[in-house]
Each structure stands twice: as C-alpha cells, then as structure tokens.
Amino acid sequence: MSRFLSLDGLLAWLDGLLKEGTVVVAPTLVEGVSLYQPVPAAAEIDLDGGATVLSPKEWLFPQSHTLFTVERRDGAAELKEGTFDGRAVLFGLHPCDALGVHLMDVPFLAEPADASYRERRERTALVGLSCTRCRPECFCTSMGTAPDDPAHLDVMLTPVEGGYAVAAASEKGEALLASAVLEEKAVPLPEPPVPDRLPTEDLPRVFRALFGHAYWGRVADRCIHCNICSYVCPTCYCFDVRDYSRGNTAERVQSWESCQAPGFARIAGGYEPRPSKAAKMRQRFAHKFLYFPEAFDGPLSCTGCGRCVRSCPVNIDIREIIGDLQRIGVSSVGSGEKQD
C-alpha cells in the first residue's frame, strides 16, 4: 500500500496552498518556453514538461534581487533589508534539480551563510517529480542521483495511472501534505528509466593532470563565451553586486554573473588573469570538477540535467568533455603536452 494523489487532488492541494498565501513556483510555459515561475493557479503548471530551460535555482538564487535599500532622510540613513517572509513551494523538481538545490546549499549555507539564500531556502518546501523518461542529454546517475531518487526533497511524487504516488521525504514534507486528500491504495510504481552513464571516476585528479593541456584551446575555439551555460545551470552560482542610486536612495543589487562574461576575472589595475579563450572556458569546468570538489570535500558540482548540452549554441557538450578528459588522461598524462 502506498499513498496516492489523483491529478485533481494534486491541483486542489496546490490551489489550497496558493489560497493560504503560499507562493507556488513551478514549470510554466511562457510563449512556448518552459520556465520556473510563481503561478497564479495550479492549472497553469506544465505538468508534462520534461526539463525547463532555466533551472529552479532562480527561486532560491534569483536572477536579480535587492539586498537592501538605504534612504537618507533628515540627515539620518534608514536601511531596509530585502527579505522574503512568506512561504513557498518549489514544485516539480526532478531528482537532478533537487541535487542542484543541495549543491547550491553547500556554498550558500556554509558558515557564514548567505542570509538571503538561507531565508528563502528555509521558507521553501521542495516537491519533486520522479522521471518516467530520460532525454538524450540526461546523465543524472553519473552525478550521484537517479530518476527516482527522493534525496534532498520534502515530497516526492511519482506519476502513475490517474495521478501520483506520494512519498514524504522529510518532516517539512509531511506537514505540507496535511492539506492533501490522499488515498491509501496499492500503486505499482513504474520502472525508472536508465540514463547514459559517463566515466566520472577520479575526475578531479584527471582534471588537475590535464589542466594545461592543449585540449582546452581546441574546445574553446568554437566557444562564443556567452552566459547561457552558466545561467541554465542548476549549480552555477556566481553573481555580481552593484549599487543603484537615485536622489536620496541607494539600492544594492545582486545579479547573476558568469565566468564566461567579458571582464569577469578582471582585477584592479585592469589585469586579466584568464586572458585566453581556453583559460576562460576551462574555468567553468574546473569549477565543477576540480575547485568545487576540492573546496567542499567531494561532490562534483554538476547534476547531469543536461541543460547546458541542450542550450549551448555551439555544442560544447559537458558529457563529451568528461569522456575526452578521461581518454586523454589515460593516453597522455605525463607526456608533457602543455599550453598556457
């Protein structure tokens, strides 16, 4: 026996949460583009969507948000923090995206935690949807999750005939389900799909060994250094901070930024430590497969969602890069082929 929620029951549950004032952030079709957005009604949710173009990270780590505003009045300055004091449900995360949230937690919740991220994270429940099919660019099992993995989620839904099999994966999830009309019945779960596997063994060490390899220059030849890969990625978390000022008020704004952007690494005096196309492109992969695991004791900073594979305009394919590194690593480590 397991718990079952009919499709109507799901919509009623979410509409009930909306009525209570909970923000429901879910995949929605905006002019044909599937994006995570706050929805006004559960019926707006794109339930069959495979993967959104952008990941759900933008709810917890918004594209742009105000850290604080300062207003000068009668000689005194008043500071107001940008806060989120509501409740939210991030709905429809596939296991890869749940892993993405976990990987964002690692840097943002490490002490001293990022206050604004922590606030949103604590006030948001994660409701997942297990995958009944994989896309060609999926490789989640190579990154430590799986199409039916409930890890890091508060509630896990598995699409079955007529509705969803429901599993609460945390206390927060159990509380959230209090308002759902659940049935107890025998629900056979579908066999999870099997995505392609990549050779990720020992990747940080292989990466380190090939850091100066000419390979990077060859892949970077076709890179146009746009920010697409960073912005669609569920784990890229670089940002920029600037002040907007007008009259007596100033606003400090945080916005997404990418290591591929011009001037990203430029420092005082104008020095550019990553001047070549190769160094610039390698940086994104080095962060995921070398610096992140070194800094945070283990995990690769990739979820296998395949969004960058799908969105890259020139087919820089992270799966191919992993495969190439392993292949070159075996054949030429120590051969002294160097660049940069």
Provide the binding-site residues for another protein, judged by CB under 8 A: 30-33, 35, 53-54, 63-64, 135-137, 218, 221-222, 224-228, 230-232, 240, 242, 244, 253, 255-258, 261-263, 277, 309-315, 317, 319-320
Of 30 and 175, CB closest to another protein:
30
Nearest distance in Å: CB 180, another protein: 31
Strands lying side by side in the sheet with 239-246? 76-81, 64-73, 249-256, 239-246
Instruction: Write the DSSP string, 127-167.
Output: EEE--SS--TT--GGGGT--TT--TT-SEEEEEETTEEEEE
Nearest distance in Å: CB 58, another protein: 9
The CA distance from 5 to 164, in Å, is: 5
Of 138 and 286, CB closest to another protein:
138
Strands lying side by side in the sheet with 33-38? 33-38, 23-30, 88-93, 124-129, 155-160, 163-168, 2-6, 183-185
Of 3 and 310, CB closest to another protein:
310
What is the identity of the amino acid at 256?
W
Q: Please name which of 26, 56, 52 lies closest in space to residue 38, comparing C-alpha atoms.
A: 26
Tell me the Cα Rg of the chain.
Answer: 22
Q: Measured between alpha carbons, how far is residue 325 from residues 43, 207, 230, 278, 290 in Å?
A: 45, 7, 21, 15, 13
Nearest distance in Å: CB 258, another protein: 8
Structure tokens at 60: 């917890």
Nearest distance in Å: CB 50, another protein: 11
Nearest distance in Å: CB 87, another protein: 24
CA dihedral 263, 273, 276, 309 (to 10 degrees): -70
Q: Measured between alpha carbons, how far is residue 269 from residues 223, 265, 266, 280 in Å?
A: 27, 12, 8, 19
Of 158 and 235, CB closest to another protein:
235
H or E stretch including 88? strand 88-93
Nearest distance in Å: CB 44, another protein: 15
Nearest distance in Å: CB 54, another protein: 7
What are φ and ψ of residue 259, in 5° steps?
-65, -10
Of 158 and 230, CB closest to another protein:
230
Of 102 and 319, CB closest to another protein:
319
Nearest distance in Å: CB 8, another protein: 30
Of 26 and 153, CB closest to another protein:
26
Q: Please name which of 173, 282, 175, 266 lies closest in space to residue 219, comparing C-alpha atoms.
A: 282
Of 75 and 270, CB closest to another protein:
270
CA dihedral 37, 292, 200, 231 (to 10 degrees): 30
